[in-house]
Structures are given as structure tokens and as C-alpha cells.
Amino acid sequence: MTTTLQVITDTHAGCAAEGHGSQRKLTGVAADVLKGVLKEGRERTTLDGVVDLGDLIEHAGSTVSPSDRAATDIANFRKTLDIFSECRLPTFHCIGNHPVMSATEQALTDALGLDKPYYARDIGDHRIIMVHSRISHVADSPGNKSGSGIYIDDAQLAWLRDELARTDRNVLVCSHHPISDQDLTGNVWFEQYPQCALMTNRAQVQEILGASGKVIAVLNGHTHWNYLTKDSYGVPHITLQSLSENFRNDGTPAATYGIAVLKDATFNLEVFGNDLMLRNAIQNPQQIVTDLAATYDGIADVYDAKTSQFGEPEHRMFDGLIERLKPGHGNRVVDFGCGPGRDVPYYASKGFTVTGVDASGELLRIAGKRSPEQRFIRSDFATAPLEPNSAAIAIHNSSLQHVPRAGLRDALKKVFDTLEPNGVFYCHYRSGQGESLSISTEYGRPIARFIALYTEHEMEQAMRDVGFEVLESTTFDHKYSGLKGQVVQYKTRTWARKPSM
């Protein structure tokens, strides 16, 4: 049984931000952005709950008299909380640091209907632990800012040990402030002020979480970027970007949110929104291929073992491709995104010579051992050195989903050019809209992969734009126990032909 949660953080609704934040936090549209992403999450999949990692509001500043700031913040906090009522789902909230700038912790806890600001709840087969980091305010100095000294106090540490000892479930831990050892180089908020971002006793907290053997992931906000790391106990720590961050300095809110799926001890998080850059991995669109190759290099053997059983449906599809070939066709197949070469022996058994293309050297190493008589090329899809008009069949099995939408037509043009006249093309891809960053532990270590989603119409139009005759498309229910964990309209298959000259 899976548990599916929508995750958001750092909405910063309410009062206008001041100082540096006045340029980076789009507080005026934050409430509307929150409404929009909560609605989008419900439309995207079936949710079991919603997690808010804190800083729902921006605290009242100099435009509000000191005597009115606490009341203003509580009013804004309650007003923003009301937005979640439309979800009609269990909600889990961290408080964050901005709400406690003026309002008391007790007043905020009362608004949440809680006895204390940290708590644990069971949902589905999993346990959610919401920790609460406190702040020891330190006077300003040239090297310090007020608000430094972030920590989890001794009473809560004892409670955390007890909660982890008592539960027999796999646990997701949520915190506003990072419990990880983040490298803040390049962070516009905290590069110069790490003491305002990271818990001072995070090593102690990591030890408690790791020693339990039950924590499958830790989620946090606060640092306003997407970040993935793991601690020395192997526990993945994921940071989400702020909903209202003006990340490009052009007035576009990041509108980042995640769909987390917990299945047993496996954790998957798909991140949607306008900002999909993983700050310690994916740096820019041109870097996506390099980062994907490095990711697959690191999990090549495990990936090969876990996907070896998936070939039979695609083998049936290949048989159908052969039936679509016209008389006089050649005998070459190009398998774009061949990975570890799972399907290459089957193609060869049907009398075809195969060329496999992939960006991962380690996956190609496995493919070469599996089919040493076939040819394998390490390259991205759009620039692979392939002879024009040379292949009877071209295949993209779950590989176009790693091509950014802006580069789709370039990848399809390479397929078109490589096919001989009347050659046929088959692709199998993630159906949907937009792009995402998929973070997963299903291969034994936390990895991140860029994902592009395409509808039938979008893919067919892109194919026609480069010259293909589209033959057929079908979108189908697909039972997938990883990211979604439920039956959804999830995959599309499209067949096309290169017209005769």
C-alpha cells in the first residue's frame, strides 16, 4: 500500500517582505499561488494528505506598528491555513521561523489545533513526524544575523527517540530548517549566513534518525532551492524550493510543489513547478544530459537488475513493428536510450542488426557484455553519429521523457533522419503535461532525474513537424509501484512512419 502526499513549503503569504526579501519573495501573489498548486496537486493524482514545511506567512514588518504585529501575523496565519480546507485532506504543518518573529509559538500552535508544535501521525502504512526547530536569537554583528542558533531542544530530542522506538512503521520526517549538512555555496539567502539556515545540533538529530533504521526520507524547506543529499547513515534529505520565490528575478513565482509517494521503505518525490533546477546537480538545461548520465552510471547494475523483467510488453510491440514494415526494408534497428541493452538480444533474434544509443557509459558497458556483436554509441539523442536513411526501425522506450520539451523536436529529427524511407518509429513515454524533477530511493540510493511529460497530441504534432506520418497513439492505464503506486493514465505509445521519398 502506498501513501501519496502533496508537499509545499515557504508560501510567505501575508505582509510585504522587506530588505533583500522584497525582491525575492512574491508575497502579494503567494496566497493565489498556494491555491493554484493545491488544486493542481489534487488534479494530478489521488492524494492521502498534504504536507506544509513551514513559513506559510511573511511576518509583519515596519509597515505595521509593533503593538499590532503579533495580531496581524496570527490573522494572516489563520487566513492562509483556511486555504487548505478546500483540500478536505489531512494536513501536516511545520511552523517555520517567520511566523514566530512576532507571534508566540503557543498562539501558532493553537491556530493549528495542536498541543505542541511537534507531533507524529500515522497515515496509510507510514508514520509522519513533524519536528519543530527553535531559534535562539543572537544580537546582530558584522558576521552574524539575528535569528541564528537553530536547534531542536532536549525535550523534543527525547520525544523523537521515543516516537521512533515505539513505531513499527516506516517514517517520513518533516522539518522547516534543514537537518542535513547542505553546501550553501551559491544560495542567495544563506551563503553568507549558514548559521541562519542549518541546525546547530543537526549531527545529533541525524544520529537519532539514522540509528532508528526506520526513516526513509527527511523533507525540509527554508533555504529556498531544490536540494538533494544524504547523511552518513544513508538517509536522504530533500529540500524544496519556496512557492513564492522570485527565482529568476523576473516576477515569476517558483510555484514549486512535490508529489511524494511512500511505498514500504521506498520514497519517491516528483517536483513540479517553474523551478526544476536541483542546485547541487542539475545546473542548467544543457547540463541535463550530463547529470542524467552520471545518475545512471551510479546505479547501472541495480537499474539493470530491477528492469530486466520489463521487456516482454515491449517485445510484443517490436513484433507489431515488424508487421508494419513494407517489403524491401533493411535489417537495422536503432534503440535510442537502450540503457543496459535489455531488449537488444530480442531484436537481434528477429534477424536485425542493432545500434544502441545511450548517454551512460556504465549502462552501455552492461549492454556491450550482453550483446558483444552489436554496436553501441555513447551520445545524447539529438547529436548521435548515425548514418542517415540507415535504419528500418527506430525505438525510444521510456527515453524521450528525459528530453527537455524545448529539445524534443531535435531528438525526433535525429530519429527521422536515421530512418530509411518507409521506416517505422515506436516510442513509449510518460503522458501528461509539463516537466518535473523526479527524486527517488528505489534504486538503493537517492537519485534525481529530469522528466518531461507529453500528451498524445503534443507528441503527434512534434512528429508531424519533423516530417513523420503518425500511424497510431494510445494512452493506457499502467500499474507502477514506484512514483505513482496506483493505476493512472500514465503511459502513451505512439507509432509513426517516415514517408517514402
* pLDDT beyond 80 at 137: no
Q: How far apart are CA 357 and CA 210, in angstroms?
A: 40
The predicted model gives 392-400 an average pLDDT of 95
pLDDT digits 0-9 by tens, 211-241:
999 999 999 999 999 999 999 999 999 999 9
| pLDDT at 164 exceeding the cut of 50 | yes
Q: Among candidates 298, 227, 272, 224, which has minimal Cα distance to 17?
A: 224
Strand partners, 429: 492
**482 compared with 132, residue with greater pLDDT:** 132
Dist. CA 100–CA 107, nearest whole Å? 9
**What's this model's pTM, rounded to 2 decimal places?**
0.88
Distance of CA 419 to the CA centre of its chain: 34
| CA pair distance 38, 33, nearest whole angstrom | 9
Q: What is the pLDDT of residue 306?
A: 87
Residue 309 has pLDDT above 80, yes or no: no
pLDDT value of position 279: 81
131-140, 370-379, 438-447: the lowest-pLDDT one: 131-140
pLDDT for 135 equals 85
* Contact by Cβ (8 Å): 235, 206: yes
Confidence tier at 433 by pLDDT (50, 70, 90): confident
- Most confidently modeled of 70-74, 454-458, 476-480? 70-74
- Give 177's DSSP letter: S
In whole angstroms, how far apart are CA 167 and each of 171, 268, 458? 9, 21, 47
Q: Indicate whether 140 pLDDT > 60.
A: no
d(CA 169, CA 212): 11
Domains and CATH numbers, the chain: 2-280 (3.60.21.10), 300-497 (3.40.50.150)
% residues pLDDT > 90 (the chain): 75
CA distance 226 to 221: 9
Going by pLDDT thresholds of 50, 70 and 90, the confidence category of residue 477 is: low
- Sequence-separated (6 or more) residues with CB below 8 Å from residue 222: 9, 10, 53, 54, 55, 96, 97, 176, 177, 178, 197, 239
pLDDT tens, 251-291? 999 999 999 999 999 999 999 999 988 887 655 556 778 88
Beta partners for 154? none
- Judge whether residue 420 has pLDDT over 80: yes
Mean pLDDT calculated for residue range 176-187: 94
Sorting pLDDT into bands at 50, 70 and 90, what band is 141?
Answer: very low
Q: Where are the beta strands (DSSP E) in 21-144?
A: 49-52, 57-58, 91-93, 119-123, 126-130, 134-135
